[in-house]
Homo-oligomer: A and B are copies of this chain.
């Protein structure tokens, strides 16, 4: 009802409010998932005698930590871009968002797998594959959420069509590269893991280029 009456700031209030709680909840889940990662790294027993060696031997844990931190950071960043261009949410969007959070908050488990098995010839391929699939699912959910927002006209009306297209385009190719990296992980797991790191950093890059545009024009 008040939606119809108000003008300017106060008009989209109920939806804005709902978006507010969805964002707060999402920020909470992202922040916790990203901070819990460190709990998985523990000093191996009997490291008193050679602590430096024991710490160096933990490199798979540091690597997995770095990749997962970067990926969750990238997903969070993409999420802020999406919600920034959102005029309001609807119930499907909220549910898609929950699915995205499900996938992201599952990531600490494959991270643990990867840290534990990356230096063991046999299981490291399985660990890298499981890990890659989880990353791929996160990115698919980001893409699906955005595409749904565009199709359901949830996006801010003042956003130029070309900006929408640019954003959609940027989101698409990474999916293919994730699939390629998963296949790579079956042969060269460590290469794949560095590929995932590069992908996360790449995602952090192009979004920023889009983000700045609406401001400078």
> Chain A residues in contact with chain B, CB under 8 A?
1-3, 8-10, 14-15, 17-18, 21-25, 27-39, 41-43, 47-49, 51-52, 55, 65-66, 69, 73, 76-77, 80, 83-84, 88, 90-92, 94-95, 98, 101-102, 105-109, 112-113, 116-117, 120, 122-123, 126-127, 130, 158, 204, 207-209, 211-212, 214-215, 217
- 24 pairs of residues in contact across A and B, judged by CB atoms under 8 Å: A1-B214, A3-B215, A9-B10, A15-B215, A23-B24, A25-B31, A28-B31, A28-B35, A32-B32, A32-B35, A33-B35, A35-B36, A36-B36, A38-B109, A39-B39, A42-B112, A43-B113, A43-B116, A48-B123, A65-B106, A73-B98, A88-B215, A90-B208, A91-B211
B28 touches A32 (CB 8 A): yes
